[in-house]
Structure 1
């Protein structure tokens, strides 16, 4: 997959999570005016988790200040450190910035693709086997596709799948090695060779979305 198409896909994923976060923020603003504290905190937790899920996809220099503010503000409210009267004016300001924000990334740079952050997020939640299982499933679909008729590509795919299967439940070093091998293979070989094939191209998009996905 070309660099520009990769950035376009990444931006779509970011915009989807951004839209979900806006919806959660709207709900929180409505709920905060009610009397049920549990409902208020549940809504705040949704905003906090949505903002965190969005932030982990971004390189540090791409994280807007309002996103960090939303996370800290909702955390303070959920923890009981802020009452609604303290929380509301700060939240409204951040919510306005959230709604005005337009995502733009440098299409000549790979800095927007913080693959390491995705890996660390899944590792910290003990969900790396889940991530690798989904990646293996998609790779096996590509391998079985009638569109892939290159013997060398099929051999390379088989080696990649076998490596991930062997390492996915292994040590931290093994997991890191498998992750680096996967990214190198995808970015330097597989996307360039197979993204033009109609069916496989769609599978590759599913694979990239899986790598970028960060559902808490």
Structure 2
């Protein structure tokens, strides 16, 4: 299938320092949250931004459940670790990021110029690894999109995957990868930023 030739738009200038601060340098992972809801239209905008990040073969295997209601929280919280439960309980939104093991069925739509693309993932172990890696990438895009929309985020990894899968993804080929609390963070009780490794400690140039 031939696609229209893509023409690059004029390259914008590098983002201002204020945006680097918002997205990276001053952004924090929050554990406490204001009692301020996140409107549904903002969640749609959040997804519309996050979905644009690159994934292998444009596969976009991540699937998102935005848990916002008391009923949804009642289903989710029992499956979280004791330290993560109060964080998710207070957050206006807890996003369950899963990945679809059957993501290849969407490749004719998402990667139409390569009809053979589904065969690249014919090995179930290859498909599983790709879905996990790329949904993790999409989780990072979700966090950056939240920060760009003046929201805060706090990723969580302490939970019972099987329990969440049974509660939210029963009867599907979707399994849970990560959770991300989203809302408007509270600065009180926030610890000072922890150190990071220097370039020389973490990087090689060869």
What TM bracket, shorter-length normalisation? under 0.3
Q: Which has the higher contact order (CA 8 A, sep 6+)?
A: 2
* Structure with greater strand percent: 2
* Structure with greater helix percent: 1
For normalisation by structure 1, the TM-score amounts to 0.22
For normalisation by structure 2, the TM-score amounts to 0.23
